[in-house]
A and B are shown apart, each in its own frame.
Chain A
């Protein structure tokens, strides 16, 4: 044993670097960085989290400092083997001191926690709030707007909330099968989506754009590919979107006698057992509503961009793109496949 050990110093340095990085971690926009909040619930949480991190860092530096000092200062030296150090058994005073200080810290944190917890959970939902029902399915999201009677999947639009025009969106969370978790970090913390139980949360997004989120509760094979997108529109854009979603599906109102071969192919396939296209005989509820499929940015819970090629690939073998998902491979010839894609791409 030649020198004394100085490694805790290295650790400390490393840890502080880490922490600095943690405070500044710069995500893309939109990112999943909880320290870049863009709605009130997320901001409240982020503020409290900063306080917590600061307190914990302070505790860390003090205690790690004591540890490092003890290790360095009282490390073994030449000649130490000749005697035993003084035997100290304890000290009531010191022990009381280091019991009381943590209690004080916990006390401070508890108050802040209590305030933020009830501020977020018990928030009064104003009368003019927009209500959206979020339904988790194995492995996709369904969104219903009871006020507008529209239904969409995996992506949903909400209006912007500004100081001048505050607009709060209240989400009602339900599950069709197992437990899921609804989590869009920049808007709010996560809330679980549990069968036989209705949860709720609220958001008031303060910047337009697309926000990414994931299912946050393990729900089976494809839990990884159960992403969600929240698209925040200006109030005007939002109204346009609602109007468009409320419209009946393309081609659904063809006059009698007129036929659309592509549509006929779709309506005579197994697809209608599971999917809905408003205004047609397709009224299944097992899979996503396809009425305005083409208005979405992505397909299959944000797995791939919404392009005709991807759509074709999906229909050809859903199990290849997203193994284990609940849509079976419907055997289709190439021609039929083309017809399907042709029809679906009209569903703007």
Chain B
């Protein structure tokens, strides 16, 4: 659209009027050097999806190796690289960019702003995250030495416990790739978090007080707070590890007096809040979608905000539930057990509020809503297996077993992925102006759900039968074979589902039904502009009087602001 303005141009930054630009320069303007929050948001999501396919294929390969006992499809070294890359990618280069993308795309639209508070910083965040991902994958092409673990992809697991990551046990550069690429992703996330907070707190349109701000934006504020507080422990620990590896420092060097448990504290001080950083955006999507399809406002709005904030706060103090087996004193184990179980309380409030929102409504079972219902069901189960893990003695048996693997895939696929698909299905018409096909959407939904259950349900039991995680192979005769065999087939079903999703998206882009401005008859501001929205979002910045501005507009006789205490 506009030509790139040279920074040395005089005229204080107003580029000349628009000229007719070539395809390429338009493309570069819009998809490479853009600072438009909508384009950056979509770019984030596209990158996340690409990495998702990569990490998903890794997940599939992991499952293929574990399909049979004593399988030799992957060598131990390659298998270890596989789950490390899978976990790292899924968390840092799928989850984080996806939620950054959603935040970028939706927040300005929902609060009636023209862009994020710091548009250029936004671009920086995107590029630094993306380059981090590329750096991580370039490790595959790094020099591989003869001894195990000297080059190639990192093989230390996504939580990279010291001292396995020290030079003594992990020579070469594979671990450095892990440290540095994750660090880049952290910088990107921090930048995004600052931007989200500044946008939500400073760019709201007229009349949008904090108490009227959409719950999605509220939850992203909680997430941003968590990112700001919880990412630095990881970054700090990684800096220390780098100093150990490059300059001979001794932070985690157990050959000197370094302490292996210190790394675990620092990592989980980050790692636990991280899982809520991943799921709260999921909660946010669900909180926006369920009311629209149940045709009722969210039940207990204030409680929702309170629950999100308290999850954000409590989750900073429960990290040691990943460390019940390191030999902490019993007092510490009990404290962390209780604190961890307490997180169930605000989470429960949310689950109940969502169900209550559906209660008495007229639920329209379109794909976004189906994903939300599936999410509720899965997250309930995932949360309850979480409670089991939170009971310290139970965790002495379950920890680092396939039960944990099943728990967290329930939270991450049943929870996060379902909500992200819900979000994509819901906002796709807004972002592209086209509807996704309901038929393909339902195929995608059902295959994904079935595949997911086939893959992960049995793994709970394998875990209860003593199967440790992160093993590249296992002997026959311990009762694990069947569960592993079926689990692998589940991936194939999931893969088909994902392919259908991709097909659905491409098909909709090419020949999808026109969406119109407000296809779901929804209530938040993003539906009060065209689909896709213009560069400037709103020609006239809207003024709001309640938390459902479009409801007020559609029901002048019965507006929300009459019932809301402000």
Chains A and B in contact, CB within 8 Å: yes
Interface residues of A (CB under 8 A from B): 1, 5, 8, 11, 14-15, 18, 21-22, 25, 27-28, 31-35, 42, 44-46, 48-49, 52-53, 56, 59-60, 63-64, 66-67, 70-71, 74-77, 80, 84-91, 94-95, 98-99, 102-103, 106, 109-110, 113-114, 116-118, 120-122, 138, 177-179, 181, 183, 185, 188-192, 194-197, 199-200, 212-225, 323-324
CA distance A177 to B162 in the complex (A): 11
- Picked from B299, B394, B472, the residue with its CB within 8 Å of the CB of A49 is B394
Contact with A along B237-276 (1 / 0, CB 8 A): 0000000000000000010011111000000000000000
CA distance A18 to B392 in the complex (A): 24
Interface residues of B (CB under 8 A from A): 75-77, 80, 148-149, 155-157, 161, 163-164, 169, 254, 257-261, 294-297, 299-303, 325-327, 329-330, 333-334, 337-338, 341-342, 344-345, 348-349, 351-353, 355-356, 358-365, 373, 376-377, 380-381, 384-385, 387-388, 391-401, 453, 457, 460-461, 464-474, 477-479, 558, 560, 563-564
Please give me the residue from chain B that is nearest to A22 by CB atom: B461
Please give me the residue from chain B that is nearest to A68 by CB atom: B377
Please give me the residue from chain B that is nearest to A216 by CB atom: B400
Give min CB distance, B400 to chain A, whole Å: 5
Contacting residues, chain B, for A90 (C-beta < 8 A): 299-303
Please give me the residue from chain B that is nearest to A118 by CB atom: B330
Give min CB distance, A142 to chain B, whole Å: 17
Contacting residues, chain B, for A80 (C-beta < 8 A): 362
CA distance A67 to B286 in the complex (A): 15
Beyond known contacts A21-B461, A70-B358: 8 more, CB 8 A cutoff: A52-B394, A74-B358, A85-B294, A89-B299, A110-B338, A117-B337, A118-B334, A215-B468
Cβ–Cβ contact B396 & A45, under 8 A: yes
Please list the 9 inter-chain residue pairs (A to B) with the smallest Cβ-Cβ separation, ordered nearest first.
A32-B466, A189-B396, A224-B471, A195-B254, A90-B300, A199-B327, A121-B330, A56-B384, A34-B397
Give min CB distance, B43 to chain A, whole Å: 34
Cβ–Cβ contact A188 & B470, under 8 A: no
Cβ–Cβ contact A66 & B355, under 8 A: yes
Given contacts A32-B467, A221-B77, contact A179 B163 (CB under 8 A): yes
Give min CB distance, B13 to chain A, whole Å: 47
CA distance A178 to B260 in the complex (A): 9
Contacting residues, chain B, for A25 (C-beta < 8 A): 461, 464-465, 479
Cβ–Cβ contact B388 & A53, under 8 A: yes
- Picked from B77, B259, B363, B468, the residue with its CB within 8 Å of the CB of A76 is B363
CA distance A261 to B349 in the complex (A): 77
Contacting residues, chain A, for B149 (C-beta < 8 A): 220-221
Cβ–Cβ contact B364 & A76, under 8 A: yes
Please give me the residue from chain B that is nearest to A191 by CB atom: B325
Give min CB distance, A150 to chain B, whole Å: 26
CA distance A120 to B393 in the complex (A): 8
Give min CB distance, B380 to chain A, whole Å: 5
Cβ–Cβ contact A33 & B394, under 8 A: no
Given contacts A60-B381, A74-B358, contact A89 B163 (CB under 8 A): no
- Picked from A76, A89, A114, the residue with its CB within 8 Å of the CB of B297 is A89
- Picked from B301, B333, B464, the residue with its CB within 8 Å of the CB of A22 is B464
- Picked from B80, B349, B365, the residue with its CB within 8 Å of the CB of A5 is B365
Cβ–Cβ contact B345 & A102, under 8 A: yes
Chain A interface, DSSP helix/strand/loop, else mixed: mixed
CA distance A213 to B475 in the complex (A): 12
Cβ–Cβ contact A217 & B161, under 8 A: yes
Cβ–Cβ contact B466 & A214, under 8 A: yes
Cβ–Cβ contact B164 & A220, under 8 A: yes
Cβ–Cβ contact A48 & B362, under 8 A: no
Give min CB distance, B162 to chain A, whole Å: 8
- Picked from A189, A196, A217, the residue with its CB within 8 Å of the CB of B393 is A189
Give min CB distance, A229 to chain B, whole Å: 12
Please give me the residue from chain B that is nearest to A19 by CB atom: B460
- Picked from B80, B163, B261, B364, the residue with its CB within 8 Å of the CB of A178 is B163
Contacting residues, chain B, for A89 (C-beta < 8 A): 297, 299-301, 563-564
Contacting residues, chain A, for B299 (C-beta < 8 A): 88-91
A-B contact pairs, 8 of them (CB 8 A): A8-B373, A22-B461, A31-B466, A49-B393, A60-B380, A85-B361, A194-B260, A324-B148
CA distance A28 to B465 in the complex (A): 10
Cβ–Cβ contact B260 & A74, under 8 A: no
Please give me the residue from chain A that is nearest to B386 by CB atom: A56
Cβ–Cβ contact B464 & A35, under 8 A: yes
CA distance A225 to B341 in the complex (A): 34
Cβ–Cβ contact B330 & A191, under 8 A: no
Give min CB distance, B566 to chain A, whole Å: 13
Cβ–Cβ contact B464 & A34, under 8 A: yes
CA distance A2 to B547 in the complex (A): 34
CA distance A103 to B395 in the complex (A): 21
Contacting residues, chain A, for B361 (C-beta < 8 A): 74, 85
Cβ–Cβ contact B77 & A185, under 8 A: no
CA distance A89 to B291 in the complex (A): 11
Which of A44, A59, A64, A89 counts the most chain B CB atoms within 10 A? A89
Cβ–Cβ contact B300 & A14, under 8 A: no
Cβ–Cβ contact B479 & A27, under 8 A: yes
CA distance A212 to B365 in the complex (A): 49
CA distance A66 to B329 in the complex (A): 40
Cβ–Cβ contact A31 & B464, under 8 A: no
Which of A60, A122, A191, A194 counts the most chain B CB atoms within 10 A? A194
Give min CB distance, A182 to chain B, whole Å: 9
Given contacts A52-B388, A103-B345, A214-B466, contact A194 B261 (CB under 8 A): yes
Cβ–Cβ contact B365 & A117, under 8 A: no
Cβ–Cβ contact B468 & A216, under 8 A: yes
Give min CB distance, B195 to chain A, whole Å: 32
